[in-house]
A and B are shown apart, each in its own frame.
Chain A
Amino acid sequence: MGKWERVLERLWGVLVVSLALLMGAFLVVPFVALVWRAVTLEGSVGVLDVARVWSAVWLSLLTTAVSMFLLILFGTPLAYVLARYNFPLKRLLTLFVEIPIVMPPVVAGLALLSAFGRRGLLGQPLAEGFGITITFTFTAVVLAQLFVASPFYIRAAQNRFATLPPAYEDAAAVDGANQWQIFWLVILPQSRNALLNGLILSWARALGEFGATILFAGNLAGRTQTMPLLVYSALERDLRATFVTALILLGLAVLAFGLTRWLGREEEL
């Protein structure tokens, strides 16, 4: 190796490391700055702030609990069907299941409005026939979360169901277990970590849902104003409430991510 080549190699190393450092710093600095800002913000947290932030935290926890319940109830069967059965247009359905991951949430909100809004495809018959309106309600918040957050769970469940060795199920069947027992006693316990992992990712996504919610569910404190909406709409008037909420969201995101990491390690053992 000539001297010239060694210099080039050294330069290459320096270049890669410095670019990597810059990118790393770019990703880290905003979080440090956010925490620093929140901590050094003048004035104490008032009673009004606590009430406002608490109502958003409570609403966020409640809506995500409901949307995650619905996701388990309806998403698990869908994942199972996609993993175990072959049927026409299966690929197309898979595409629709996964599209919300890459779709801008605002577009998702517009789509939900077109479907379930008062003048929507399904919303109009619902409103005229049964007097049920979904827009601007708790239900709208839940539906927006379910729509944008479902792919993470369904995909994780589908992958797990598809890769589960059939030998266990066959053995159970030989021992006389019926389909119901096989699902509850064999498939589910073996997929527990994968499902939990997917569910946590979906929950984190639902918790951060903003674009579809503000379009489809509107923004009203105590009724549809979840934490991300509070961060956005309090920014102009109430910096303290904004930063407190932002920190809570950041903390929950870190917690969710830590949990998925931990579950992932459990799985490997």
Chain B
Amino acid sequence: MHRVLFLLCALWLVGCGAGSIANQSPEITVFAAASLTDAFTEMAETYEAQNPSVTVRLNFGGSSQLAAQLREGVPADVFASANQAQMEAVIAAGRIEGGNTAVFATNRLVIIVPADNPANITSLEDLAQPGVQLILAVPGVPIRNYTDDIVAALPAQFQTNFYANLVSEEENVRQGAAKIALGEADAGVVYTSDVTPDLASRVQQIPIPDEQNIVATYPLAPLSDAPQPALAQAFMAFVLGEQGQEILGRWGFGAPLGLGE
């Protein structure tokens, strides 16, 4: 109860401040997985350019972190998750209606190593070599679940050695990628979309073969208590539409299965 009162007070203060400056220019808040940082930043810019009256506020974070915030009741209009599990968690909390989700992108996993590849990694199998310093995301973050799925299909000995090489579990993919780019660890597993132009110049990519790889699907949904329901729908349509898909493709994402491919 205290928390609610305090929030109301804070909202009232913020509302007064904002109200006196801008005259209620509509604003939508989009919660998006950390791996969507670049794609959704461009998405928002393009959308704002085409709808000058609308402001898109973006909140990036690990999907599980965002889902935790949404379960706590943080106001938002749209949630774009990096996996179905975190979307389900928000649905279970009653803030999203199950029937309203749509898959808008797919992603694959890739191994990254520092530019000079100090541990001489050339394949997925090499990640289990003794002494390799491996960084993964913390369990519960979608990419960690996908990585665990890939590893679970490999021999038990590989699994033991692979996890023994783990030196850190990072809160989100990009934190781990940055440490690998700095050369502090030997290898990590990220989404192909995480290898941004800046990162690509600092790391080498080692592909994971298709038969071992996993296709991550990204669901999107409006919050059922969205402050701007109509705008939330419009923004979603934009993401799922031709322009949105083109932007996602440019940042390394695949089209939803059955939609493009």
Is chain B a partner of chain A in the same complex? Answer: yes
- Interface mask (B140-175 → A, CB under 8 Å = 1, otherwise 0): 110000000000000000000000001111110000
A135 at the interface (CB under 8 A from B): yes
Q: Which residues of B contact A32 (CB under 8 A)?
A: 2
Would you call A237 and B169 a contact (CB within 8 A)? Answer: no
Would you call B185 and A236 a contact (CB within 8 A)? Answer: no
Write the nearest CB–CB distance from B245 to chain A, whole angstroms. Answer: 30
Write the nearest CB–CB distance from A175 to chain B, whole angstroms. Answer: 56
Would you call B64 and A136 a contact (CB within 8 A)? Answer: no
Would you call B170 and A218 a contact (CB within 8 A)? Answer: yes
A235 at the interface (CB under 8 A from B): yes
Q: Which residues of A contact B171 (CB under 8 A)?
A: 214, 219, 232-233
Would you call B2 and A29 a contact (CB within 8 A)? Answer: yes
Q: Which residues of A contact B169 (CB under 8 A)?
A: 218-221, 233
Whose C-beta in chain A lies nearest to the C-beta of B6? A29
Most chain A C-beta atoms within 10 Å of own C-beta, residue among B169, B179, B184, B185: B184
Q: Which residues of B contact A135 (CB under 8 A)?
A: 167, 184-185
CA distance A28 to B72 in the complex (A): 21
If the complex has contacts A33-B2, A119-B184, A135-B184, are A233 and B167 also in contact, measured as CB distance less than 8 A?
no
- Interface mask (B205-249 → A, CB under 8 Å = 1, otherwise 0): 000000000000000000000000000000000000000000000
Write the nearest CB–CB distance from B143 to chain A, whole angstroms. Answer: 14
Would you call A136 and B182 a contact (CB within 8 A)? Answer: no
B133 at the interface (CB under 8 A from A): yes
Whose C-beta in chain B lies nearest to the C-beta of A237? B140
A198 at the interface (CB under 8 A from B): no
Would you call A236 and B183 a contact (CB within 8 A)? Answer: no
**Residues of chain A from 20 to 56 with CB closer than 8 A to chain B in the complex:** 29, 32-33
Q: Which residues of B contact A117 (CB under 8 A)?
A: 182-184
Whose C-beta in chain B lies nearest to the C-beta of A233? B138
If the complex has contacts A218-B167, A237-B64, are A136 and B2 also in contact, measured as CB distance less than 8 A?
no
CA distance A217 to B6 in the complex (A): 36
CA distance A224 to B166 in the complex (A): 12
Would you call B182 and A219 a contact (CB within 8 A)? Answer: no
Write the nearest CB–CB distance from B23 to chain A, whole angstroms. Answer: 30
Would you call A235 and B183 a contact (CB within 8 A)? Answer: no
CA distance A154 to B168 in the complex (A): 32
Q: Which residues of B contact A157 (CB under 8 A)?
A: none
Q: Which residues of B contact A33 (CB under 8 A)?
A: 2-3
Would you call B68 and A236 a contact (CB within 8 A)? Answer: yes
Q: Which residues of A contact B62 (CB under 8 A)?
A: 236
B203 at the interface (CB under 8 A from A): no
Write the nearest CB–CB distance from A218 to chain B, whole angstroms. Answer: 3
B65 at the interface (CB under 8 A from A): yes
Whose C-beta in chain A lies nearest to the C-beta of B136? A220
CA distance A235 to B6 in the complex (A): 22
Write the nearest CB–CB distance from B41 to chain A, whole angstroms. Answer: 22
A240 at the interface (CB under 8 A from B): no
Whose C-beta in chain A lies nearest to the C-beta of B62? A236
CA distance A220 to B166 in the complex (A): 8
Per a CB cutoff under 8 Å, which of B67, B166, B167 touches A236?
Answer: B67
Q: Which residues of A contact B184 (CB under 8 A)?
A: 113, 117-119, 135-136
B135 at the interface (CB under 8 A from A): yes
Whose C-beta in chain A lies nearest to the C-beta of B140? A237
Q: Which residues of A contact B6 (CB under 8 A)?
A: 29
Write the nearest CB–CB distance from A190 to chain B, whole angstroms. Answer: 45
Whose C-beta in chain B lies nearest to the C-beta of A110? B182
- Interface mask (A219-240 → B, CB under 8 Å = 1, otherwise 0): 1110110000000110111000
Would you call A218 and B168 a contact (CB within 8 A)? Answer: yes
Q: Which residues of B contact A29 (CB under 8 A)?
A: 2, 6
Write the nearest CB–CB distance from B118 to chain A, whole angstroms. Answer: 8
B98 at the interface (CB under 8 A from A): no
CA distance A117 to B179 in the complex (A): 10
Would you call A236 and B182 a contact (CB within 8 A)? Answer: no
- Interface mask (B41-73 → A, CB under 8 Å = 1, otherwise 0): 000000000000000000000101101100000
A-B contact list, 5 entries, CB within 8 Å: A32-B2, A113-B182, A135-B167, A218-B170, A219-B170
User: Besides the contacts A133-B133, A220-B166, what 18 more A-B pairs have beta carbons closer than 8 Å?
Assistant: A118-B183, A119-B184, A135-B184, A136-B133, A136-B168, A136-B185, A214-B171, A218-B168, A218-B169, A220-B169, A224-B168, A235-B65, A236-B68, A236-B138, A236-B140, A237-B64, A237-B139, A237-B140
Ranked nearest first, the 10 interchain pairs of A and B with the lowest CB-CB distance are A218-B168, A136-B167, A236-B64, A237-B140, A119-B183, A236-B68, A135-B184, A233-B138, A219-B169, A136-B168
Interfacial residues, chain A to chain B (CB-CB below 8 A): 29, 32-33, 113, 117-119, 133, 135-136, 214, 217-221, 223-224, 232-233, 235-237
